Structure 1
């Protein structure tokens, strides 16, 4: 029997990757979205804006049923509450894409889903802060669908084709320009992230296997390093760029911000522990498989080239990366 999937979103980054993976896997896919981007070929679409009073009308008026719902909502939790309440009797499982940011800061290195959580209000209709919004949405999904029918996919850093945040695209476009590139060290600094396509595949598998509860969705510790990531960028772009490694102390002295001005990178210590040292044993045991970093980098570059080299930007998100002037100052340090 053909499996049926409803994606709340489904036209950008992870949502699009999930729709494409589902279609390739033989699922019948419906995407519910605002209509600002075209859905993948083969997907049925319903339109509505979840921030509007009657925004779920298209869902309310259909009598369709689904095997699973995938929801990537990142704003006020009330939208997840309303969607989950409407669909609770019409879908078998609610897969909510949350974030590792729901863990109380600073998250200790080596912890999994047992780590303490931030507070969240499932009924809030006003967006407050990202961690609180996501936690509130988790609570809303669980309340409406029940803990045994809800999957909480707490994603970490997501990379890959269709990325509309701009982290890996910034490194690729900067390295492709050539010259001396400020590469934040140490070279062997371990990174945890997840390719959006690997996350999409896990979301579908989680629904298929009737999983429930929270899972952290990032690669195993040490899946790659900062050096491997940046060297892959040099390789796939064919650039003549030279990586000049700068120490965490030099980055700090120059006043450069980790993660935002130097995307992906966090210096060793509390920030790195929280962002790149999670215990994902539970998720690996559930079947998560992560492709090599070189494949993620190469495919992201191929996608960037295909759209003219200018990555899309998610509404309301600042552009990551160093300006040329800031990078020149860092290289002088």
Structure 2
């Protein structure tokens, strides 16, 4: 297989590049040159947000598939897709479960209504941007040659958003740790490496259409934080605190306490982020590695970087300020 990745140097794109190279595929990464490409990949340099920024793609190919993880202006997906449609068999677009129209019910699947979007849009909110990217792929490649991966929470090595890295860093510092309850709060996620492997499998098999790509059997917030304690080996004391107490302290779920959304107090938000039905992808071969492996591998990766994870400049920082945590814990 010959694979073109638009990006390919960070997080999901990097995971896909490494997985494809491990399979012996011929991999080309088109990127801005800000980060080193995975060893063994061919490089094309360009900035799709600049006039003429796709010039490096005009003479390349053909490729069996192109994988695009773009999450900003849909027009950038549109321009690349139109340019490549005649030289690429299949378009794999990493979308998001955020494209579903609010509110959703737990167990929502690929037939759930989606938000409005436009392939021609510029800077728009995240959900509309991802839907616009889907429409751009469908417009250029058609439904039979477009694979739309609607991912949920993505974690694992190379994460550049900061959710799991923040929890690992906080727990590694040890001491009393504000742990938001209840402990049984369900969470779901996909390891970037599992998302990448399944994307490659699906592209090779010629699958098309939308798929929710998350862990089907949900874990809990307690399992996540306890694995962080085990991975870091820290002397951390998880202080389980009722959700109402956390919210009354003005602490924001998801952003200040990453991953966590209280199910009873914020049912619509919890359903959106942790309630997707991924049985279609599971039936098509999606397998998610154990949570312990994801957490431990992410910690090993963080340690290899000196403990500081990269962070995307287009995403706000996450994590709870120390003074807020101290107030809740009464220290």
The TM-score by the shorter chain falls in which range?
over 0.9
- Contact kept? 1:191, 1:221, Cα under 8 Å: no
> Which whole-Å deviations, capped at 9, do the CAs of 1:200-249 have from their partners, x for residues lacking one?
00110110110000001110132x21111101100110100100001111
Q: Distance in 2 between matches of 1:29 and 1:20?
A: 9
Shift of 1:332: 3.1
The alignment status of 1:276 with 2:274, answered yes or no, reads yes
> Which whole-Å deviations, capped at 9, do the CAs of 1:276-305 have from their partners, x for residues lacking one?
111111110011000000000000000000
Q: Distance in 2 between matches of 1:149 and 1:107?
A: 28
Q: Distance in 2 between matches of 1:82 and 1:330?
A: 49
The alignment status of 1:266 with 2:261, answered yes or no, reads yes
Q: Distance in 2 between matches of 1:71 and 1:166?
A: 21
- Contact kept? 1:152, 1:212, Cα under 8 Å: yes
Q: Distance in 2 between matches of 1:19 and 1:77?
A: 23
Instruction: Give the 3-state SS of the residue equivalent to 1:152 in structure 2.
Output: strand
Q: Distance in 1 between matches of 2:119 and 2:315?
A: 24
The alignment status of 1:98 with 2:95, answered yes or no, reads yes
Q: Which one of the candidate residues 241, 244, 248 is aligned to 1:246?
A: 241
Q: Distance in 2 between matches of 1:78 and 1:318?
A: 23
Instruction: Give the 3-state SS of the residue equivalent to 2:226 in structure 1.
Output: helix
- Contact kept? 1:4, 1:27, Cα under 8 Å: yes
Q: Which one of the candidate residues 168, 175, 180 is aligned to 1:184?
A: 180
Instruction: Give the 3-state SS of the residue equivalent to 2:58 in structure 1.
Output: helix
Q: Distance in 1 between matches of 2:258 and 2:133?
A: 27
Give the match for residue 75 of structure 1: 72
Q: Distance in 1 between matches of 2:281 and 2:225?
A: 27
- Contact kept? 2:4, 2:65, Cα under 8 Å: yes
Q: Distance in 2 between matches of 1:316 and 1:290?
A: 28
Q: Distance in 2 between matches of 1:204 and 1:232?
A: 29
Instruction: Give the 3-state SS of the residue equivalent to 1:61 in structure 2.
Output: coil
Give the match for residue 308 of structure 2: 310
Shift of 1:105: 1.3
Give the match for residue 37 of structure 1: 35
Q: Distance in 1 between matches of 2:189 and 2:258?
A: 12
Contiguous gaps of at least 5 residues in structure 1 = none
- Contact kept? 2:97, 2:276, Cα under 8 Å: no
Q: Distance in 1 between matches of 2:117 and 2:166?
A: 32
RMSD between aligned residues: 1.0
Give the match for residue 16 of structure 1: 14
Contiguous gaps of at least 5 residues in structure 2 = none
- Contact kept? 1:221, 1:278, Cα under 8 Å: no
- Residue-pair matches, total: 328
Give the match for residue 256 of structure 1: 251
- Contact kept? 2:74, 2:133, Cα under 8 Å: yes
Give the match for residue 326 of structure 1: 324
Q: Which one of the candidate residues 229, 232, 240 is aligned to 2:224?
A: 229
The alignment status of 1:201 with 2:197, answered yes or no, reads yes
> Which whole-Å deviations, capped at 9, do the CAs of 1:163-216 have from their partners, x for residues lacking one?
000000000000000010000111111111000000000110110110000001
The alignment status of 1:157 with 2:128, answered yes or no, reads no
> Which whole-Å deviations, capped at 9, do the CAs of 1:301-329 have from their partners, x for residues lacking one?
00000000001110121111101001112
